[in-house]
Structure 1
Amino acid sequence: MKRTLLALVFACAPLLAHAGCEDNVAKWVQQLQPGRALDENRTAVCKVWPANTALTIAALPLSRPGNTDIQGTDDLEVLVADTATGAVVAHRYEKAALQFDAVAIRELVIDTAPYQLTPQQRAFGIRVDYDNMSRASPYEAKALSLYVMQGSTLSKVLGGLNVKESGGEWDENCAGTLHETVRTIAIGPADKSGYAALKVTSKTNTTVSALKAGNCVDHTKTAKPSIATLQYRDGHYEVPKTMRYSN
């Protein structure tokens, strides 16, 4: 199978991307999780699936008891619905899927890049963007999970791949060090499972800044890219610990 490089930052959309989606969000919550409420501080998202516009994808963060604005845990409903009627076609409930404390959840993003895992099976992504909002010790991460439809359920075939991570320390004036790792996914050939391998390329830059003669000077070093191959086994792709987002 010819490899297709996937830009993980495209094919994403903001909250409530099509007419009627806003009304359906409340209906979906009450249908799937009666009595539960959306987390008002973490926005629900939905988007028509470009690969099949008859379907709409949504991710609904559900608040749990004891949460505050800056600390807590949310459950997550991921669903696929009929675009015309709003009827839920398939869904997956993930308990305690979203955790926020020193690192906050900035947003949820629906990723509809062409993750064609088999000739018949295309996945979609839900990405969680994190940020610690610190100036002196900045940190941010983007964790991607992939889902496929299997009847009336959704299966998570990839969980928490850190597609972007950056962080460092600086004096809030000039001096400091910042590292950034960006990962992209290419679809490789299928193996005996029938599912394509995922080729994950990691590129890391490290920037050291220092004050010299009154000027802030940056020196950036780029490490040699590394490539990891993720194979489909036992219903999912195993993400190496070094590439997985951890709260």
Structure 2
Amino acid sequence: MRTLFAAPLLCLPLLAFADCQDRLNDLTKTLQPGRTLATELSTCKVWPANPSHTLAVLALPQQGGTDKHTVYDVEIVVADSRSGKIIAHRFEKGALTSDAIGLRSVALDTASWRLTRDVLAFGVRATHEGTSRVAPFAQTTLSLYVVDGTTLSRRLDTLVTQTSGGQWDGNCAGRFTDTSRAIALGPAGPSGYASLIVSEKVVTTTNTPTRSDCTSTERTTKRPSVSLEYDGTHYPVPTALSRH
């Protein structure tokens, strides 16, 4: 994911950010005048851990996209919940792609990501899904951001939190795997940042046709947890946990 920072502090006219979904176009006009907003892939939310701030993600399709392939630039925004003034933002060029594996949703994760006593992060989750009926596929990734002056710094980059897929004959026989990962904050390391403890559960479902029915069997496997440590700038994500 290539990134580009935009540092100037910008502001909007006074507005009621409680209705933030209606204000996404205003944010777009301020930060990316002339660009088209993909409203179905853009979102905003008051930050529960810091209600004076409102978070937003703006998905902006690049020119030349088609129904089969579109690349999106992304603006991630933190704004004052009362006035709408932009506190910090980050522009990520070509951050998201929708092709054979289509981009289905973008969501804000406002769990309590307190990385240190003074550093609070928020998350952006992106979900992609395939269109094949006999070989379904879906994947969700998580990135974490913190306010860093008038910009946002990414502390975790596209950790895969869920993957599901498999193959079947369109009638019964087939095998499906669902891998889900939970992330918990662990003890602080030498940097003072909490470690991220990633636990993983894999559910494998096998469907088998019988004479008059279709039977399913499930097998659940829990894999050893992985600890991600802050290296001074971000949490490196192992290849096995990143989007391919």
- The TM-score normalised by the length of structure 1 is 0.89
What is the aligned counterpart of 2:43 among 42, 45, 66?
45
CA–CA separation in structure 1 for the residues paired with 2:224 and 2:76: 32
- The equivalent residue for 2:19 is 20
**2:188 counterpart of 1:187:** no
- The equivalent residue for 1:54 is 52
- Root-mean-square deviation (CA, aligned residues, Å) is 1.3
The residue identity in structure 1 corresponding to 2:201 is: K
How many Å apart are 1:22 and its aligned residue? 3.4
- The equivalent residue for 1:219 is 217
CA–CA separation in structure 2 for the residues paired with 1:140 and 1:103: 8
- The equivalent residue for 2:165 is 167
CA–CA separation in structure 2 for the residues paired with 1:228 and 1:22: 37
How many Å apart are 1:23 and its aligned residue? 4.1
**1:203·1:226 contact (CA, 8 Å) conserved in 2?**
no
How many Å apart are 1:39 and its aligned residue? 2.4
**1:110·1:125 contact (CA, 8 Å) conserved in 2?**
yes
**2:41·2:104 contact (CA, 8 Å) conserved in 1?**
no
CA–CA separation in structure 2 for the residues paired with 1:19 and 1:195: 32
**2:69 counterpart of 1:77:** no
- Listed as ranges, the gaps of 5+ residues in structure 2 are 1-16
- The equivalent residue for 2:195 is 197
SS of residue matched to 1:223: strand
- Listed as ranges, the gaps of 5+ residues in structure 1 are 1-17
CA–CA separation in structure 2 for the residues paired with 1:43 and 1:181: 24
**1:168·1:176 contact (CA, 8 Å) conserved in 2?**
yes
- The equivalent residue for 1:239 is 237
> Residue by residue, what CA displacement relative to the aligned partner does 1:75-113 show, whole Å, maximum 9, x if unpaired?
000010001111110011100000111111111111101
- The equivalent residue for 2:4 is none
The residue identity in structure 1 corresponding to 2:31 is: L
CA–CA separation in structure 2 for the residues paired with 1:39 and 1:240: 31
- The equivalent residue for 1:128 is 126
CA–CA separation in structure 2 for the residues paired with 1:128 and 1:22: 18
How many Å apart are 1:219 and its aligned residue? 1.6
Q: Which moved more, 1:22-31 or 1:180-189?
A: 22-31
Q: Which moved more, 1:98-107 or 1:207-216?
A: 207-216
SS of residue matched to 2:41: coil
- The equivalent residue for 2:8 is none
**2:148 counterpart of 1:150:** yes
- The equivalent residue for 2:3 is none
SS of residue matched to 1:30: helix
CA–CA separation in structure 2 for the residues paired with 1:186 and 1:168: 28
The residue identity in structure 2 corresponding to 1:79 is: V
User: How many residues align structurally?
Assistant: 228
How many Å apart are 1:209 and its aligned residue? 0.8
The residue identity in structure 2 corresponding to 1:115 is: W
- The equivalent residue for 1:3 is none
The residue identity in structure 2 corresponding to 1:38 is: L
- The equivalent residue for 1:90 is 88
SS of residue matched to 2:92: strand
How many Å apart are 1:225 and its aligned residue? 2.4
Q: Which moved more, 1:205-214 or 1:195-204?
A: 205-214
**1:24·1:86 contact (CA, 8 Å) conserved in 2?**
no
- The equivalent residue for 1:118 is 116
CA–CA separation in structure 2 for the residues paired with 1:195 and 1:222: 32
CA–CA separation in structure 2 for the residues paired with 1:169 and 1:111: 31
The residue identity in structure 1 corresponding to 2:151 is: T
**2:41·2:105 contact (CA, 8 Å) conserved in 1?**
yes
The residue identity in structure 1 corresponding to 2:24 is: V
> Residue by residue, what CA displacement relative to the aligned partner does 1:11-65 show, whole Å, maximum 9, x if unpaired?
xxxxxxx63313421221122122212125x421000000011100000001101
CA–CA separation in structure 1 for the residues paired with 2:214 and 2:189: 51
Identity %: 42
What is the aligned counterpart of 1:230 among 228, 231, 236?
228
